[in-house]
């Protein structure tokens, strides 16, 4: 007897590991390397498509708390992420190639995991199944999911470009983290004065965009959390200055003043040879990216190892379909995990895979599901996707707003966040 896991992304990899660690055989289906989506390039599992940042590291933050909860529940992905970390100020970022390779090696070496390299086009008819095929699920299987679940929603997700370190013009940069958090080696800052910024903005909003063949181009549904920079720019001259190019918390040591606008570059690998344009996810044509982004003085001669791309994401209208254990309400042997469930973010997806894997194993052994308390971040996300009362269900990432209020009102923001974290980890400890 075995459990099927469909997809070896963040959610599927974590789910497969959790099941196998409980002594149950796993059939892990992954269509790579036989077939790849337009957004994938590596043959390895857990390929990080957008940013290499796993968000804030501090436990006294929503995303930091989520990661700590996962560590305490034995997350394999968190163990790999901690080992592959690269400097990123107050965030946990990873060398994406090292991370993906390490996860792949561990899964393939596990004696309880059989990796089957083929595309899944229908639900397996045998045994318990965890569906973790991700937001880029193949069209054939997506159709089966839509029929099984009574429809789905979709939106578009965009990835930022990556440039080589040696091609950056460092005469027009300074190294610093916002508000001096995390050391000066976390980000390379590319400042612009008012004249430079306004010329850049004008070029950006008028640049030619790449065609989108698999979307209603007259009415695309773009997720706010990964908005293409050109769409943001189109909302007003100062939108970028209050968004990805905000200069708040930064001071150019060469002038002693805050710049008019700043693009931050974050390291992509431990060798610091590649840098990501933070917040610059885009759907511009490749030549346009080079021309327009080259108007930023530090990037005038930038060499791109990956241009920004835009791709489809698909997710379920999970409330009414899934329980807080990530199982279908009408079929407790069919689980879903990952962004398809309506959680948004790398570690949020992995966290859902962790719980889906644990609960699939418990179902296999005839045990009741593990439903974590809503006071934990993992429990709050599971509650959100299963019990959201919103008429327009949208993906949700980790945030303190989805946790139940504290009994005591704490005015200080940091102290309040610390209290949320302390409460969550205490309750999680009782469940563990």
Q: At what angle do helices 346-364 and 10-20 cross, to 10 degrees?
A: 30
Contact 314, 171 (CB under 8 A): no
Predicted local distance difference test score (pLDDT) of residue 216: 39
DSSP 133-159: --TT--HHHHHHHHHHHT--EEEEEEE
pLDDT at 211 over 80: no
Which is higher by pLDDT, 314 or 36? 314
Which ranges of 164-249 does DSSP label H, i.e. alpha helix? 194-206, 229-233
Residue 218: pLDDT band (50, 70, 90) is very low
Rounded to 10 degrees, the C-alpha dihedral 146/29/54/414 comes to 70
pLDDT tens-place string over residues 159-169: 789 999 989 99
pLDDT tens-place string over residues 327-361: 999 999 999 999 999 998 999 999 999 999 999 99
Residue 155: pLDDT band (50, 70, 90) is confident
pLDDT tens-place string over residues 371-409: 999 999 999 999 999 998 766 787 888 988 899 888 888
Q: How far apart are CA 118 and CA 141, in angstroms?
A: 12
pLDDT at 220 over 50: no
User: For the purposes of burial, counting CB atoms within 10 Å of the CB of 329, is it exposed (0-12), middle (13-18) or buried (19 or more)?
Assistant: exposed
Lowest mean pLDDT among 16-20, 68-72, 178-182, 228-232: 178-182
DSSP 55-114: EE--TTSHHHHHHHHHHHTT-HHHHHHHHTEE--TTEEEE-HHHHHHHHHHHHHH-TTEE
**CA-atom Rg of the chain in angstroms:** 22
Contact 20, 127 (CB under 8 A): no
Residue 152: pLDDT band (50, 70, 90) is low
pLDDT tens-place string over residues 276-323: 999 999 999 999 999 999 999 999 999 998 898 887 778 899 999 999
Peptide bond before residue 33 is cis, with ω within 30 degrees of 0? yes
Instruction: State the DSSP H helix or E strand holding residue 426, giving kind and residue range, or none if neither.
Output: helix 413-431
For residue 262, the cross-strand partners are 191
Residue 96: pLDDT band (50, 70, 90) is very high
DSSP 273-328: -EEEETT----B-HHHHHHHHTTSGGGTT--EEE--EEEEEEE---BTTB-TTSEE
Contact 120, 69 (CB under 8 A): no
Q: How far apart are CA 51 and CA 161, in angstroms?
A: 9
Which is higher by pLDDT, 31 or 235? 235
Q: How far apart are CA 164 and CA 302, in angstroms?
A: 7
Q: What is the DSSP letter of 375?
A: T
Contact 294, 303 (CB under 8 A): no
Predicted local distance difference test score (pLDDT) of residue 217: 37
């Amino acid at each position: 007897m075995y459990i099927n896991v469909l997809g070896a992304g963040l959610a599927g990899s974590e789910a497969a590991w959790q099941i196998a660690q409980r002594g149950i055989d796993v059939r892990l289906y992954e269509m790579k390397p036989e077939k790849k989506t337009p957004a994938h390039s590596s043959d390895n599992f857990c390929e990080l498509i957008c940013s290499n940042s796993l968000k804030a590291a501090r436990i006294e933050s929503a995303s930091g708390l989520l990661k700590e909860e996962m560590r305490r529940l034995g997350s394999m992905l968190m163990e790999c992420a901690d080992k592959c970390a690269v400097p990123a100020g107050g965030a946990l970022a990873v060398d994406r190639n090292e991370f993906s390779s390490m996860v792949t090696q561990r899964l393939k070496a596990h004696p309880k995991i059989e990796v089957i390299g083929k595309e899944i086009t229908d639900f397996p008819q045998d045994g318990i199944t965890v569906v973790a095929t991700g937001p880029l699920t193949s069209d054939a299987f997506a159709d089966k999911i839509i029929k099984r679940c009574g429809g789905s929603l979709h939106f578009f997700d965009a990835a930022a470009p990556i440039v080589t370190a040696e091609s950056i013009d460092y005469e027009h940069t300074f190294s610093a983290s916002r508000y001096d958090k995390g050391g000066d080696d976390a980000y390379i800052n590319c400042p612009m004065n008012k004249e430079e910024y306004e010329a850049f903005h004008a070029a950006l909003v008028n640049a030619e965009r790449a065609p989108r063949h698999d979307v209603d181009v007259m009415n695309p549904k773009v997720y706010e959390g990964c908005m293409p920079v050109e769409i943001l720019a189109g909302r007003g001259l100062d939108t970028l200055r209050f968004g990805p190019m905000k200069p708040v918390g930064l001071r150019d040591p060469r002038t002693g003043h805050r710049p008019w606008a700043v693009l931050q570059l974050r390291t992509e690998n431990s060798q610091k040879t590649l840098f990501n344009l933070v917040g610059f996810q885009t759907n511009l044509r490749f030549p346009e990216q080079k021309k327009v982004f080259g108007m930023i003085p530090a990037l005038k001669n930038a060499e791109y190892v990956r241009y920004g791309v835009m791709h489809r994401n698909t997710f379920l209208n999970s409330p009414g379909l899934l329980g807080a254990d990530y199982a279908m309400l009408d079929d407790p042997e069919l689980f879903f995990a990952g962004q398809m469930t309506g959680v948004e973010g790398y570690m949020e997806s992995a966290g859902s895979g962790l719980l889906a894997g644990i609960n699939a194993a418990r179902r296999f052994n005839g045990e009741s599901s593990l439903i974590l308390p809503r006071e934990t971040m993992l429990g709050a996300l599971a509650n959100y996707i299963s019990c959201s009362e919103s008429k327009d269900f949208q993906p949700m990432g980790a945030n303190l707003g989805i946790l139940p209020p504290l009994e005591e009102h704490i005015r200080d923001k940091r102290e309040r966040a610390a209290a949320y974290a302390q409460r969550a980890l205490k309750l999680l400890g009782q469940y563990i």
